[in-house]
A = this chain, B = another copy of it.
Amino acid sequence: MMLVNGQPSDSVSALDRGLSYGDGLFETIRFENSKAPLWGRHMQRLALGCERLRIPMPDGELLRQEAQQVSAGLREFVLRITLTRGLGERGYAPPAVAAPTRIVAAFTMPTISNALYIHGIRLHRCKTMLADQPLLAGIKHLNRLEQVLARAEWNDPAIGEGLVCDYRGNVVSATAANLFAVVDGKVVTPAVNRCGVAGVARGAMLDALPDCQVRDLPLDEALSASELFLSSSVRGILPVQAVGDTVYAPGPVVRAMQQHWCVLGFPTEQA
């Protein structure tokens, strides 16, 4: 079920600026036992995105009510909130008074084999590189062609994600998840102030890893890691089993983070 500006609907105006220019933001929020353990973080990131794009932030309580309404009794689901700048005349100039479009929709949880949580996920090394754009980095906006191009690079179902770099030779993330590496015994995750998304699960992991370094992570350094793992607000914490032909084994850090994921309120999805 779906709500558009609070009304049951599955369509939006063909003149919506979300469609015309990708002028908006989104969040995908996992619900478990009818609760969203990371709700507050999602709202924080949405608010940051609204501030950056100067779109009025919707009321959080309203979004909560609409989430409940579209879930239609589901206890496990993924909520997608899409917020656009609303209807627009032709042309890039934002309307003086924005009347945002708010789409709230529930989707069934994707099925992910438990083997991936135990043994890890295989990554394709993407040729698509992310552009540096500090004005848009970190937030979850609707301009996602880079991710679409990166994800289109493979269709082998045995490969679950792609490793994506920037043009400076640093690893940024997977196509739809953040990345952590254990290098020389230290946990590192790429900075996302020039490109990439500041994932909500990443934020939760960083709180649990106060010594984690947030910095540029050159590809060679990432590939030489003793552990690699992904964080995603929908898929949780996934060890990386391989990047191309380079193989990794799940180690103690990813196992600790998987346990932390359970502490946050998500189910046990690992060995």
Q: Which residues of A contact B (CB under 8 A)?
A: 2, 4, 9-23, 26, 28, 53-54, 78, 80, 82, 84-85, 90-94, 96, 103, 105, 107, 110, 128-129, 131-133, 135-136, 141-152, 155, 167, 175-176
Contact = CB atoms under 8 A, between A and B. Distances in A.
A128 B132 contact: no
28 contacts: A4-B14, A9-B14, A10-B14, A11-B11, A12-B19, A20-B82, A20-B142, A20-B144, A21-B22, A21-B143, A21-B145, A22-B145, A23-B144, A23-B145, A23-B148, A78-B90, A90-B107, A91-B151, A92-B148, A92-B151, A92-B175, A93-B151, A96-B155, A131-B132, A132-B167, A136-B146, A142-B145, A143-B143
A2 B15 CA distance: 10
Protomer copies? 2
A131 B141 CA distance: 15
- Report which residue of A4, A19, A82, A133 has the largest number of chain B beta carbons within 10 angstroms of its beta carbon: A19
- Report which residue of A2, A10, A148 has the largest number of chain B beta carbons within 10 angstroms of its beta carbon: A148
Given A22-B145, A143-B143, A176-B91, A14 B12 contact: yes
A154 to B, nearest CB: 9
Contacts of A84: 19
A134 B259 CA distance: 41
Given A149-B135, A167-B132, A18 B19 contact: yes
